[in-house]
Structure formats: structure tokens, C-alpha cells
Amino acid sequence: MKKRTTCNECGNDNCLITQGCFGEWLDKISANLEQCWYKKGSYIFQEGEPIYGIYILAHGGIKVVTTSIHGREQIVRLVKEGQIMGYSGEGKIHYQFNSVALVDSKVCFVDKEVFEQICMNNPKFAYNLICFYGLELQRAEMRVKYLAQMSTREKVAMAFLYHYEIYGINQSTKMLKIPLTRQELADIAGTTAEQVTRQLSEFERKKLIARNKRDIKILQIKGLKAIIKDYNNE
Amino acid sequence: MKKRTTCNECGNDNCLITQGCFGEWLDKISANLEQCWYKKGSYIFQEGEPIYGIYILAHGGIKVVTTSIHGREQIVRLVKEGQIMGYSGEGKIHYQFNSVALVDSKVCFVDKEVFEQICMNNPKFAYNLICFYGLELQRAEMRVKYLAQMSTREKVAMAFLYHYEIYGINQSTKMLKIPLTRQELADIAGTTAEQVTRQLSEFERKKLIARNKRDIKILQIKGLKAIIKDYNNE
DNA sequence: CGCGTCCTTGAACCGCGTCAAGCCAGGTGG
DNA sequence: CCACCTGGCTTGACGCGGTTCAAGGACGCG
């Protein structure tokens, strides 16, 4: 087991905790935090399990995914470092989704009651969280729109850009930081792996991307965005 | 212009404000609240407009909708009385959606700065809002899953149940409280009005619903839910 | 080397979106 | 009162995009 870090030591600038909680509260949270490392492919939580608290992704990458209709999977969200997952207010008491590590990941867990206390006593944290949820909700609503109405080509481009926005690229190689399989891209786009392959071949022919074995390099972000007529980033 | 009501007089049990704010804050909010009545079909806000604050639906029904890809519209959310719409944290400064009254509606508006103050000084309100957003986010993510993978029949059943869950039925007539056109149902389901008609005929043949002119009566909720294999309400 | 996994490409089927025509109810005006 | 028009609803026929099925290649691992 690797070494445990406190919130003060963590150094993750994007963490909602360290951005919104200060002083003694940081110590209190650190004392009540559980940290776990998950190997690539392992589950953080699964559909149907009771909800005991929230998870914060400290390091790595995670997909939130549903075991799904007609045997297919659907990735409903990609989680970025510092973001929260698995909490849903007081209404639901069981997870509706699975959460799977895309790469080896470090995750912090906060108990439900502690979480409520943090919200009630750290207004800055609560406000930041409200903003985060607001944005995430908008993103989800945009995805509702996209999935409902786009052609396969647009959806694949969209999945690609979504992945790029969340995890970014390795500056030196220009390759996507966290590689996804064709099937995983299809699970984001809401289509099949075959269609993803076809569209990627198409994109390569148009010099928008380059493929080296299984790795993908983005050549023209603008070209990809142009595929989706009304894509907006702002 | 109809009479203005304060938060103390409003009597809406579901309002996030009255559930989470108390005493002098209720007075302060009332003093800073703008109330407007919107006729059926008119816009509360439109895509591209700057965001000055948040809207709370006091009475009526509202759809959040996008002018959309390939000329079609997509309803991304139905808003219930007491719920919040139009806020998205500090990142976005323009609305990404249109908001349209489904029936004559009364809406309260709170300025951005006032809203931030409310969040920072009413922990109960902030916590409730976090829970609300968490639930709404889950709902949106479920819709991502549904739209991406369901057949048209399932999507229409889904749209129907969604509408039913949000606005409910008139207890005496058993008709849906807020009637939607075929096109609006299609805009929820992510399909066309023709498909909605076909599926409704099908549902009628199976005695799941009854149609009287344009009004729809639900006969068997369970039957509709059964169409969507893994529909869960909990 | 053999096996499993992932990727790629082609071919065939079919669900659903599109187009078109007709129906019904409500509104308006003569 | 009827004639006419308009907007929403219904149903049928057609064609295309995308899913499915199948076969073969590339790569990694024991």
C-alpha cells in the first residue's frame, strides 16, 4: 500500500476540497478521509450498491458507466482529477451507475455525514460545489441533445472532443493522455466499435487525426469541431 | 399585472428557497425578488443571452429546449414548480438553452450576486441545492443512457413517463395535467412526431393508454414501464 | 509458436426518418 | 348557417444510415 497523504500535502490544485475548505476543516477532513488506489479496470462502486458517501478522484481517470439496455454499455461521464462522483442528494440510496478506473487511480472517500457537515460549515466549498454541479448538469444536458440528434460521424467526433477536453494530450507526443479502446469511444458516442473505426479512418483520410497502432494523435482540433456544426466550447 | 407575493405568502411547499432559508433572510430575498408572469409559449430566456441570475418556477410548467442540430429541437429538461433553472456556475456567461412556458407560468428571478450571498449564508439552502443538483444530474445522465441506446418505442414510453413524473395527472380526469403536442413528446424522446403517433397507437392497442381527441389518459403505468426493461423509479 | 484481444473492412438486413396524402377539430368570415 | 382555412394528428410507402454479422489482420503475452 502506498503512502497516505493529507489534504495539505495533496497538491491537487483542482480538488474541490482544497479550493473551498480552510484551516482546521482541512485537518478534520484529512482525518476522516479514506484513500484507496484502484488498478486499471477495477470498480470503485457498482450499480445497486448502497451509497455511503462521496468519492473524489485524486489521481488518474475514471469512467462512469451503465450496464445497459440490449447488452450495450454507455459511458455517461468521464471524471477528471479533483472532481466528485457518486453523490446524489438524499433521494437515491443506491448507485445507478458503475464507476471503473481507466488507468491506475487514487481515490479519496468521504462519509455521507462528514460530507453534509462540510457543506454546512464551509460556504465557499458549498458554493463551489453548486457551481460545479451547475456546469456538469449543463454538460450532461448538452450530451442529451447531442446523442439524440447527431449523426454517427458527429457523435464520434463529439466523443473524441469530450475525451480530449477532460483528459487532454501528452504535450510531447501529442497523443491522448489516457488511451481508450474503440469500444470505449463507442460507449461514449452511443454507437458501435465498427462505426468508430470507420469514422476514424475517415478522419485520418481528412488529416484531422493520425493513427499509430492504437494510439491517436490529434492534428486539427478545429477540423473536428467543424464536423459538429454548432459545437461550442465557451 | 397580477399581485406580487412575498416568499412568506407564496405557499409553494416545493420551493428550494422557502425550504432552506429562514427568518430575516426570507424577507431579504423577498425584497430582492422579481416576479413575472409568462404566457404559454413565451420565452423566459433564450440561447445566447447573458446570465444575470437564476429563475425559480413558482407556478406552471416550463421546458428547457435547444434550437438544434439539423433544424430539430430537443427538450433537455422539464421544470417542475419550485425548481431552479438557468444557473450554471461561474464558467458560462451566456445561456446555452431556451426556456419556454408550456402553460401560463409565474416565475421568480434572483440576481446572481444575491444568489451567491444566499448560498454563502444559508447552509441548509446550499445543501439542499447540492442535493437537488445531484439528483438532477443523475436524471440527466440516465437520459444520456436512454437516448443513446433505446429503440424508438422505448424512448417514446420513456418520454411519456418522464412527463408523467414531472407534472403528474389530474386526479379526477386521469388526464395528464399539462398536455404536450406530439411534436413536443418527440422533442423529449429524440424522435419525430410521426413515430410518436405510431407508438401511441400501439400503446392504445395494448390498452396501456386511452386517447380522447388530443388528450391522453394513462391506464397502466406498469405496462409502460415494462416496455423499458430496466426502468427504475427508485 | 499459438492463443486471445483489439482493430479493420466488407456485405446484408432492417429500423426509423422522410415524404406525402388525408382526416379531424376549431376558428373566422361571409 | 355553411364554406373555407389552418394546425395538429394519423397512416402508408419508400429509401438510407447504421447496426449486425462475418472474416481476416496486427499485436501482445505466455
Q: Do B135 and A96 touch (CB under 8 A)?
A: no
Q: Give the per-residue pLDDT at A234.
A: 35
Q: Chunked in runs of 10, what are the mean pLDDT values of chain A (234 residues)?
A: 78 89 93 92 92 93 85 90 82 86 94 93 93 88 88 94 91 86 94 95 92 83 83 46
Mutate to test the interface with B, among A69, A78, A117, A122 (most CBs of B within 10 A): A69
- B3 to chain A, closest Cα gap in Å: 32
**B61: nearest Cα among B155, B147, B184:** B184
- What length does chain A have? 234
Asked whether the predicted pLDDT for residue B24 surpasses 80, the reply is yes
Burial of A185 (0-12, 13-18, 19+ CB in 10 A): buried
Nearest chain A residue to B121, by CA = A123
**B232 at interface of A, judged by CB pairs closer than 8 A:** yes
3-state secondary structure of B231: coil
**A233 at interface of B, judged by CB pairs closer than 8 A:** no
Q: Do A127 and B119 touch (CB under 8 A)?
A: yes
Q: Is strand D less than 7 A from the beta carbon of B200?
A: yes
Q: Give the per-residue pLDDT at B71.
A: 76
pLDDT in tens, B111-167: 999 999 999 999 999 999 999 888 888 888 888 888 888 999 999 999 999 999 999
b/e burial code for range A140-178 (CB count within 10 A of at least 16 → b): bbbbbbbbbbbebbbbbbbbbbbbbebbebeeeeebbeb
B105 vs A73: CA distance, rounded Å: 39
A45 vs A155: CA distance, rounded Å: 28
SS percent in chain A: helix, strand, coil, step 5:
45, 25, 35
- Average pLDDT, integer, range B66-82: 87
Q: Do B92 and A116 touch (CB under 8 A)?
A: no
Which positions of strand C lie within 7 Å of protein CB atoms?
Answer: 6-11, 15-20, 25-26
b/e burial code for range A71-103 (CB count within 10 A of at least 16 → b): ebbbbbbbbebbbbbbbbbeebeebbbbbbbbb
Q: Is strand C less than 7 A from the beta carbon of A193?
A: yes
Helices (H), chain B: 7-10, 16-20, 24-31, 112-121, 123-149, 152-167, 182-189, 193-205, 221-227
Q: Give the per-residue pLDDT at B36.
A: 93
Q: Is strand C less than 7 A from the beta carbon of B153?
A: yes
Burial of B234 (0-12, 13-18, 19+ CB in 10 A): exposed
Q: Do A148 and B149 touch (CB under 8 A)?
A: no
B52-91 residues touching A, CB cutoff 8 A: 64, 66, 68-70, 72, 74, 76-77, 87-91
Name the strand (E) or helix (H) holding A91.
none
Which positions of strand D lie within 7 Å of protein CB atoms?
Answer: 8-13, 17-22, 26-28
Local confidence band at B1 (pLDDT 50, 70, 90 cut-offs): very low
A186: which nucleotide lies closest, measuring CA to C1'? D19
A85 vs B124: CA distance, rounded Å: 21
Contact call for residues B45 and B94 (beta carbons, < 8 A) = no
pLDDT in tens, B164-180: 999 998 888 888 899 99
Q: Cell 423509479 maps to which residue?
A: B233
